[in-house]
């Protein structure tokens, strides 16, 4: 046994002090009461074993000691030979749903007359699986998890052959937990539409859906990273509901949670991006075709330490365990929190859509895509409209209006303006100004109709004059016009103007033009 072989309790303390507290070798040695060379030797062994802190909760001292001091373990223990146990078969069966080491141990003992204790069975399996990786004891069940992330590398694409302008494409990677079967595609950005679009294409590529999707804490899908309750973007959650999957983000600073996709990313960078480094691409479609060809080779490539390949493991274990795809692919939609104004409309991308008038001032959720607008209150859809691209326009459902508004639903701003023109240009300008002065033109309909009906009582000429005066003083209301007409003010001098003084020709003090003949 090495002279630097220390207890696993002290080993854990070395790891804690070094990686959690950032202590120097000398400080660690002084704290624990060992030599600095022993601290250095321990940390070198940790580095060679590719361990990180904190260790997994179920990583016991026996596992840690075997990993750091394998020669001491071999010399100090007499391990039972593996015999005829097919550990590759055991490893593969563990990936099936509900299959456990306990079940496989029972099956083994039932098959062979020489019984093996369960603890021995588990220890020997761990020893066999150890060369496959530090985290191999975390076996993923078939169809359970899909790990997703972006590669750190990007791919340049020439988008203008004349100027040589280059745009960088992002590389999305998705890896299934049990089979390591991988999907890769290129998108222009890591924004939410591209992020969700890559998920949709990945599900189609796999021909089914996993139970859980494990993303890294990317801002596109996770609005706020948190150890216990990360906030998932509304649109990302909407996609998850459509496919019946659960979004379970990787914990911050927990490499164990995302080891699968990191391995997939590494394969994509080494076997796809590196292989394409000297090629020039002129479109995203061209790049994705090249990626697809190399991806097929990755998935068919035989495992080094296990029988089969990603593809064979996928076809045998994973694909039958995936949930079926829904009948239609998910259509990207965005979500927005809104409040209905006093005119019972909400604004989405510059256009206004009605909601039931009883929901004025209530907090609502709007789901919108290129085709439809859906409004939800307390998880219940309360309004649905076809999307309009008319900026500052209004789409109103008659059923959403108060009853005293519904009788004016057949009127439109254009119809009212057309009717006003029959009275005269000043009346037409006034009703347009009145409607524009309201936050919603419909709120001015009743006033406009009242103004136009005043022509029956006072005549078109007086109404024209009253509208001209109201426009001048910017009094855009029915009551203003009515007051002007009632008080005979339509022909009075406008405020701020001096009326022209005229003297009749027949006055005794006026000589007239004939006086100068």
Instruction: Tell the residue number behind the tokens 């990273």, with chain if given.
Output: 225
Mean pLDDT over the full length of the chain? 80
Q: Name which residue leads in pLDDT, 456 or 123.
A: 456
Q: In angstroms, how far is CA 376 from the centroid of its own chain? A: 19
Q: Which residue, 113, 121, 112, 117, is CA-closest to 94?
A: 121
Q: Name which residue leads in pLDDT, 84 or 89.
A: 89
CA distances from 323 to 50, 204, 260, 316 (A): 35, 12, 20, 15
pLDDT of residue 113: 58
pLDDT of residue 187: 95
pLDDT of residue 204: 95
* Exposure of 67 in the CB half-sphere (CA atoms within 13 A): 30
Max Cα separation, the chain?
Answer: 150
pLDDT of residue 3: 47
Q: Per mean pLDDT, which range of 168-172, 236-240, 255-259, 481-485 is the poorest? A: 255-259
Using only C-alpha atoms, what is the Rg of the chain? 39
Residue 286 has pLDDT above 90, yes or no: yes
pLDDT of residue 4: 56
pLDDT of residue 76: 39
Averaged pLDDT, 53-75: 71
Q: What percent of the chain has pLDDT over 70?
A: 79
* Exposure of 238 in the CB half-sphere (CA atoms within 13 A): 21
CB proximity list for 271: less than 8 A, separation 6 or greater = 294, 297, 298
The model's confidence at residue 249, banded by pLDDT at 50, 70 and 90, is: confident
Q: Per mean pLDDT, which range of 105-114, 248-257, 505-514 is the poorest? A: 505-514
Reduced to 3 states (helix: H, G, I; strand: E, B; else coil), residue 381 is strand
Averaged pLDDT, 78-92: 60
Q: Name which residue leads in pLDDT, 440 or 456.
A: 456
Averaged pLDDT, 365-388: 90
């Amino acid at each position: 046994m090495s002279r630097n072989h220390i207890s696993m309790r002290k080993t854990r303390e070395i790891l804690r002090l070094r990686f959690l507290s950032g202590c120097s070798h000398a400080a660690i040695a002084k704290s624990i009461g060992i030599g600095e060379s022993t601290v250095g030797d321990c940390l070198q062994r940790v580095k060679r074993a590719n361990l990180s802190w904190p260790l997994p909760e179920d990583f016991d001292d026996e596992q840690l000691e075997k990993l750091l001091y394998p020669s001491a373990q071999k010399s100090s223990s007499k391990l039972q030979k593996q015999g005829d146990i097919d550990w590759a078969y055991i490893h593969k069966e563990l990936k099936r749903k509900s299959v456990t080491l306990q079940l496989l141990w029972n099956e083994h003992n039932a098959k062979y007359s020489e019984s093996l204790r369960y603890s021995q069975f588990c220890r020997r399996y761990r020893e066999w699986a150890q060369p496959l990786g530090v985290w191999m004891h975390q076996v993923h069940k078939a169809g359970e998890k899909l790990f997703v992330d972006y590669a750190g590398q990007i791919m340049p694409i020439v988008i203008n052959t004349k100027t040589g302008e280059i745009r960088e494409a992002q590389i999305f990677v998705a890896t299934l937990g049990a089979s390591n079967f991988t999907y890769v595609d290129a998108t222009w950005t890591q924004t939410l539409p591209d992020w969700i679009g890559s998920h949709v294409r990945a599900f189609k590529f796999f021909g089914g859906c996993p139970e859980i999707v494990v993303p890294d804490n990317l801002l596109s899908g996770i609005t706020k990273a948190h150890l216990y309750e990360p906030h998932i973007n509304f649109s990302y959650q909407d996609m998850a509901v459509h496919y019946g999957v659960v979004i379970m983000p990787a914990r911050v600073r927990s490499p164990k949670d995302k080891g699968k996709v990191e391995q997939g990313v590494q394969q994509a960078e080494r076997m796809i991006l590196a292989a394409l480094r000297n090629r020039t691409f002129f479109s995203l479609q061209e790049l994705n075709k090249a990626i697809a060809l190399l991806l097929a080779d990755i998935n068919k490539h035989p495992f080094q330490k296990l029988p089969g390949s990603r593809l064979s493991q996928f076809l045998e274990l994973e694909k039958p365990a995936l949930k079926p795809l829904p009948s239609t692919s998910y259509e990207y939609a965005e979500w927005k929190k809104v409040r209905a104004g006093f005119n019972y409309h909400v604004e989405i991308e510059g256009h206004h859509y009605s909601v039931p008038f009883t929901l004025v001032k209530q907090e609502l959720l709007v789901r919108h895509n290129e085709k439809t607008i859906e409004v939800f209150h307390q998880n219940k859809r309360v309004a649905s409209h076809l999307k309009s691209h008319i900026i500052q326009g209004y789409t109103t459902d008659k059923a959403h209006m108060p009853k005293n508004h519904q009788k004016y639903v057949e009127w439109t701003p254009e119809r009212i303006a057309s009717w006003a023109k029959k009275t005269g240009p000043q009346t037409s300008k006034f009703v347009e100004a009145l409607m524009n002065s309201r936050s919603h033109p419909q709120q001015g309909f009743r006033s406009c109709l009242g103004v136009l009906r005043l022509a029956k009582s006072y005549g078109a000429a007086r109404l024209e004059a009253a509208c001209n005066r109201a426009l001048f003083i910017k009094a855009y209301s029915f009551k203003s016009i009515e007051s002007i007409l009632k008080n005979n003010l339509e022909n009075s001098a406008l405020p701020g103007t001096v009326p022209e003084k005229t003297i009749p020709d027949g006055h005794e003090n006026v000589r007239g033009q004939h006086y100068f003949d």
